[in-house]
Chain A
Amino acid sequence: MLDSYLPIIVLIVIALAFAVGTIVMSHLIGHRKPSAVKLAPYECGMPLVGSARERLSIKFYIIAMLFIVFDIEAVFLYPWAVVFKRLGMFGFAEMGVFIFILLVGYVYVWKKGALEWE
């Protein structure tokens, strides 16, 4: 089984070598004159205000959670699509129910305003 993946393993090695190689090369060739101001985070040249480790809006968190749910739904769709022809009408009805139940959830999310960005 692994044999057919051999080219990918080789490609992973080459790609890693490329990434590491270029960074090391840049590290060796590039000149370096660090100073405190240069190494400070960029804020348009002004003195820093506060910390960059701020708490973020919960909106992003909802999106990530919804993404997991719908991603899992999509994962169920893939094997279904491959065997769809063999399952025929039965499989279609089955997936219809599945998608319908999730669409109910989707409408709920929409109605509750979880998809809104104010």
Chain B
Amino acid sequence: MPEWLVTTILILVKLGFVFFLLLTGAAYMVLAERKLLGRMQLRYGPNRVGPFGLLQPLADAVKLVTKEDFIPSQADKFLFFIAPGIAAVTALLTFAVVPFGPPIRLFGREVPLVICDLNIGVLYFLGLSSLAVYGVTLGGWASNSKYALLGSIRALSQLISYELSMGLAIVPVVLMARSFSLTNIVNAQAGLPFAILNPPAFLIFLVSVLAESKRIPFDLPEAENEIVAGFHTEYSGMRFGLFFVGEYINVIILSSMVTVLFLGGWHGPLLPGIVWFFLKVGFISFLFIWTRGTLPRLRYDQLMHFGWKILVPLALVNVIVTGAILLLLNPAKG
């Protein structure tokens, strides 16, 4: 087979694999969340559709597609159309730089298990997460409804505030790995994961990621008992579905970013690398669900104070301290 054909096929296979994985992952994440929340609240959770409710995601998808799909009469139609698309597409694109396993040998050549190992992988992730703001904001604004507007303004402020602490928490990781490439960052953690080497950065990143996912305890943009559903109050059918899928894909992606940046990615004893990666991602996703089942929602002033008065200065100080320690450990070699 010619070289370019093999390359193209490999790219397509990887893309197909990741795409399938993300969508089913998101669908079953919904089910897992409902089941776990049910257990935490001493209920059964969905258990009617199929064995143990395993076909529930399929039923949900059919329901979403067949629901009435209407546009509020006062909405800005164009923006109302594209906003959920932006939310879903930015979420889907982020996974391109996440390495989900060590390179494998296939057809006598080295195949890295990542769609695209960019040398600016970290910045690619940050850039896309800053673009993800648009889906939420425009969706809420275009609906021309008071609840949606409040939700989108809250979401905008919250997302940019926590994006800042998230970005600053990544700087120590780059300092230690000396690279933006996520594959290099994973390889730099072959010995000890960065979560152990730099726990403050890990905690700041974890909290910021929780806030970025707009879920309890940071779900003020959609707080259903004060502003109904926030930015997607007016959405129905599959357009709501895209927001929904986007949120869960986002959870998976943020979990995998935590895994790659702080938990050593695919590194781990005994089991093959790819299994370790998905175990870790699963664990962090479980953490997302667990906090949702445990913590109450913050007040908006508490949310902003926490982000700006605690996380941002802490992250800045952490950058300087990490730099100082790295200098002490290995003095400059020119």
Contacts and interface: CB of A to CB of B under 8 A. Distances in A.
Interface of A: 4-8, 10-12, 14-16, 18-20, 22-23, 25-27, 29-34, 36, 38-44, 52-54, 56, 60, 63-64, 66-67, 70-71, 74, 77-78, 81-82, 84-90, 92, 95-96, 99, 102-103, 106, 110, 115-118
A74 B164 contact: yes
Given A39-B72, A43-B146, A52-B148, 15 more contacts: A7-B115, A8-B96, A14-B19, A16-B89, A18-B92, A30-B69, A31-B66, A34-B70, A42-B147, A52-B145, A63-B161, A67-B163, A88-B327, A89-B332, A99-B319
16 contacts: A11-B96, A23-B238, A26-B239, A40-B74, A41-B146, A63-B157, A64-B157, A67-B163, A70-B312, A81-B171, A82-B179, A84-B323, A86-B334, A88-B331, A106-B313, A115-B309
Select the residue from B180, B242, B323 with max chain A CB neighbours within 10 A: B323
Contacts of B188: none
Contacts of B25: none
Contacts of B287: none
Contacts of B164: 67, 70-71, 74
Interface residues of B, number: 80
Contacts of B237: 26, 30
A56 B115 CA distance: 42
A63 B162 CA distance: 11
Contact of B67 (A26, A40, A43, A89): A26
B123 interface: yes
Nearest to B71: A39
The interface residues of chain B, by DSSP majority, are classed as helix
A110 B309 CA distance: 8
A81 B174 contact: yes
Given A52-B144, A77-B319, A88 B332 contact: yes
A56 B153 contact: yes
A82 B323 CA distance: 12
Interface stretch (B49-57, B189-197, B207-215, B297-305): B297-305
A84 B71 contact: no
Interface stretch (B39-47, B80-88, B257-265, B271-279): B80-88
Contacts of B12: 10
A92 B178 contact: no
A82 B65 contact: no
Interface string B75-104: 000000100110011001100100000000
B167 interface: yes
A39 B234 CA distance: 9
Contacts of A27: 69, 238
Contacts of B30: none
A78 B180 contact: yes
A18 B86 CA distance: 12
A12 to B, nearest CB: 6
Contacts of A18: 19, 88, 92
